[in-house]
Amino acid sequence: ASPKYRFLRQQGLQPARQLPSALIIGVKKGGTRALLEFIRIHPDVRAAGSEVHFFDKHYSKGFEWYRHHMPLTLEGQITIEKSPSYFITKEAPHRVQHMNPSTKLLVVVRDPVTRSISDYTQAASKKPEMKPFEQLAFINSSIDTSWGPIKLGIYARYLIRWLKYFPLSQFLFVSGERLIVDPAIELKRVQDFLGLKRVVTEKHFYFNSTKGFPCLFKSEGRSFPHCLGKTKGRNHPFINPVVLQKLRDFYRPFNNRFYQITGINFGWS
């Protein structure tokens, strides 16, 4: 960069696109959109609006391609991207490490049973002829662990792959449940982890009882109260309680393993 460019950039006058220094890597249906929308309220955060899918689908296009999909930032602003498929993509950990070994990794996790129903509900909304959850979850009366909505909930298995490339200290695990019940607490943790001033606080949120979720008074793009879109916070179908219990029993050892690795008990039972 020329001295004039560097000067303007330091003065905060020259915007530029930067590769992300932090990624929301997952998990699908964990609350990743909510986290991205909440953290990007922060004036020192700029985020790619839609999922770029660089580390899974577009890696061969190269880092310059990726950088061009990032928003403009001023000196001192950090760039964030979220694509929840990264968490389960085999190649993603070493690719992210190759981009920048100090990349900060955010993972929103949620009770894998609820997550599986959320995942199913999303798929069923696109495919009306979809069979009931109870049918798809089992194969010959045992749990079908190859079915995406169930497989993805074995968080420990995917995390172990990432830990071959990144130390645990570079991860922040956000509770998807707490992000709904008390978004400000989770956002405080996220801002501290990213080295940001605590700007996003309880003052930014209100609970919309019609939607049943926290919503924002204002955000980067909108200065009026609004909630996330209709595809976030869907009604889930009723699931046979016997099936739910079987799923809980199935996930228990994997959840415990995940608590053990992360050192956090997320309290799913």
- Identified binder of ligand A3P from the candidate list 89, 116, 121, 255, rule CB under 6 A: 121
Peptide linkage before 27 cis (omega within 30 of 0): yes
C-beta closer to ligand A3P: residue 10 or 125: 125
Give the total of residues touching ligand A3P (CB under 6 A).
19
Per DSSP, 72 falls in state E
Stretch touching ligand A3P by CB under 6 A, among 22-30, 68-76, 246-254, 258-266: 22-30
Stretch touching ligand A3P by CB under 6 A, among 12-20, 25-33, 133-141, 164-172: 25-33
Stretch touching ligand A3P by CB under 6 A, among 47-55, 125-133, 187-195, 231-239: 231-239
What are 47's two structure tokens? 């985020």
Distance CA 55, CA 194 (A): 21
C-beta closer to ligand A3P: residue 151 or 234: 234
- Identified binder of ligand A3P from the candidate list 32, 83, 89, 191, rule CB under 6 A: 32
Per the CB < 8 A criterion, the answer to whether 5 and 13 are in contact is no
Sign of CA dihedral 179, 166, 194, 57: negative
- Identified binder of ligand A3P from the candidate list 179, 190, 194, 247, rule CB under 6 A: 179
- Identified binder of ligand A3P from the candidate list 157, 234, 248, 257, rule CB under 6 A: 234
Binding of ligand A3P at residue 118 (CB under 6 A)?
Answer: yes
Distance CA 194, CA 32 (A): 16
C-beta closer to ligand A3P: residue 36 or 154: 36
Binding of ligand A3P at residue 149 (CB under 6 A)?
Answer: no
Residue type for position 102: S
Distance CA 11, CA 169 (A): 33
Stretch touching ligand A3P by CB under 6 A, among 32-40, 44-52, 163-171, 258-266: 32-40
Angle (CA) 263 86 178, round 5°: 45
E strand residue ranges, the chain: 16-17, 22-26, 45-47, 72-73, 78-82, 104-109, 138-139, 142-143, 171-175, 205-208, 213-216
Residue corresponding to tokens 């509770």? 175
Per-residue binder mask for ligand A3P (CB under 6 A), 67-86, x = binder: -----------------x--
C-beta closer to ligand A3P: residue 57 or 211: 211
C-beta closer to ligand A3P: residue 4 or 88: 88
CB contact set of 22 (below 8 Å; sequence gap of 6+): 78, 79, 80, 103, 104, 105, 106, 194
Binding of ligand A3P at residue 204 (CB under 6 A)?
Answer: no
Q: Which residues bind ligand A3P (CB under 6 A)?
A: 28-34, 84, 118, 121, 179-180, 213-214, 227-228, 232-234
